[in-house]
């Protein structure tokens, strides 16, 4: 689609971003005048933060909390899940980590967890996000507090351009492709444009990273895993989730889009799921037993890149 044939400016902009996402070096252009999800999450975590958030970010955060009062708790639960996965990966001997769509490192539990680890060899993490304001603030933090950044590297890039991302990080010496990695794709895939096949993200990671690599994925859904105590709870969950997603329309697009359990399972088809398989961030590594699901309700799973079959070749995907 070209600008001349686009049905609307929004359609043309979406098409342009899709094309740009094919290239690691060409990030989607970001409107820095409006609210952004990364800053909104900072406002959710701390509504009084007027340094890292703008009034428009705090307004969206307030709307999200009004629609779904569980929003702040869900963010804390996500951080807990991330820290638990990191602990598990470290116990498996993995010392290199990659966080996709990291958002503001100020509230990144992965950045904080890796910095606090006292093991030898010391683990390292690469945080990737496309937002230029988030990058600028991370760079400023690294200059002011180099000690806190001794194990973390922030890279501005497009997390959906998996092949180029991995190759670029390897060439820069930020990832050793001969060793397992722990990849954190936490609450990022539901922000892909509808035209993007997000299944390619874990698939390409599985085919480019060595066996034993762990990939943690969470994704928004409006289907509870466990039958709720009240039949109306499912309808309420779907209604609140839809409203919660629409509220993101004020932010730099695209809006989050929930997926079903079956769609989530297809995302992880190239991985060997660790027990208990699909669960929720607050439950992992145990099965989910939530009887009163509340929006934003998220599925979670951790998969391992399996051993290559004899004679099998890796896909040459971009």
Band of the pLDDT at 136, cuts 50, 70, 90? confident
Q: Which residue has the tokens 């004899």?
A: 310
Residue of 192, 195, 196, 183 whose CA lies nearest to 220: 192
Distance of CA 272 to the CA centre of its chain: 20
Q: pTM surpassing 0.85? A: yes
Residue pLDDT, tens place only, 232-274 = 999 999 999 999 999 998 887 778 999 999 999 999 999 999 9
Residue 148 in this model has a pLDDT that exceeds 60 = yes
CATH number of the domain that residue 92 is part of: 3.40.50.150
Evaluate whether 177 touches 171 at the Cβ level (below 8 Å): no
Instruction: Quote the number of domains for the chain.
Output: 1
Residue 222 in this model has a pLDDT that exceeds 90 = yes
- Structural domain includes residue 290: yes
CB atoms within 10 A of CB 79: 18
Residue 26 in this model has a pLDDT that exceeds 70 = no
Band of the pLDDT at 11, cuts 50, 70, 90? low
- Structural domain includes residue 184: yes
- Structural domain includes residue 18: no
- Structural domain includes residue 48: yes
Non-local (6+) Cβ contacts of 192 within 8 A are 160, 198, 254, 257
- Structural domain includes residue 100: yes
CB atoms within 10 A of CB 221: 25
Cα–Cα distance, 43 to 57 (Å, whole number): 7
Evaluate whether 222 touches 238 at the Cβ level (below 8 Å): yes
Residue pLDDT, tens place only, 151-188 = 999 999 889 989 999 999 999 999 999 999 999 999 99
Helix or strand (DSSP H, E) at 203:
helix 200-208
- Structural domain includes residue 9: no
Tokens of 6: 């686009």
Residue of 71, 68, 13, 14 whose CA lies nearest to 40: 71
DSSP-derived secondary structure letter, 179: S
Band of the pLDDT at 77, cuts 50, 70, 90? very high
- Structural domain includes residue 4: no
pLDDT > 90: percent of the chain: 67
Considering only residues 2 and 152, tell me which one the structure prediction assigns the higher pLDDT. 152
Q: How confident is the model at residue 89, as a pLDDT? A: 98
Q: How confident is the model at residue 310, as a pLDDT? A: 61
Band of the pLDDT at 315, cuts 50, 70, 90? very low
Classified as helix, coil or strand, 288 is coil
Cα–Cα distance, 185 to 219 (Å, whole number): 9
Q: How confident is the model at residue 32, as a pLDDT? A: 62
- Structural domain includes residue 314: no
Domain that holds residue 212: 35-304
Provide φ and ψ at 100, rounded to 5°. -95, 130
């Amino acid at each position: 689609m070209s600008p001349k044939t686009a049905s609307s400016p929004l359609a043309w902009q979406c098409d342009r971003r899709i094309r740009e996402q094919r290239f690691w070096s060409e990030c989607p252009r970001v409107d820095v005048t409006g609210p952004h999800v990364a800053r909104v999450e900072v406002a959710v975590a701390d509504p009084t933060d007027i340094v890292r958030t703008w009034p428009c970010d705090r307004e969206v955060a307030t709307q999200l909390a009004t629609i779904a009062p569980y929003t702040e708790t869900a963010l804390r639960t996500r951080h807990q899940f991330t820290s638990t996965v990191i602990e598990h990966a470290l116990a498996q001997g993995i010392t290199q980590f990659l966080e996709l769509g990291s958002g503001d490192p100020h509230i990144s539990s992965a950045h904080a967890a890796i910095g606090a680890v006292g093991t030898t060899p010391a683990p390292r993490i690469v945080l990737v996000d496309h937002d230029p304001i988030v990058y600028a603030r991370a760079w400023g933090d690294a200059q002011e507090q180099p000690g806190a950044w001794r194990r973390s590297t922030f890279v501005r890039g497009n997390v959906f351009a998996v092949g180029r991302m991995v190759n670029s990080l390897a060439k820069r010496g930020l990832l050793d492709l001969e060793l397992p990695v722990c990849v954190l794709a936490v609450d990022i895939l539901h922000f892909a444009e509808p035209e993007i096949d997000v299944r390619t993200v874990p698939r390409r990671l599985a085919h480019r990273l060595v066996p034993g690599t762990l990939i943690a994925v969470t994704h928004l859904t409006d289907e509870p895993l466990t039958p709720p105590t009240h039949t109306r709870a499912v309808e309420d969950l779907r209604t609140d989730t839809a409203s919660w997603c629409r509220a993101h329309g004020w932010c730099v697009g695209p809006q989050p889009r929930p997926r079903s359990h079956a769609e989530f399972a297809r995302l992880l088809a190239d991985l060997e799921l660790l027990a208990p398989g699909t669960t929720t961030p607050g439950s992992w590594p145990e099965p989910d037993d939530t009887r009163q699901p509340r929006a934003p309700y998220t599925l979670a799973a951790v998969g391992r890149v399996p051993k290559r079959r004899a004679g099998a070749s890796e896909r040459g995907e971009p």
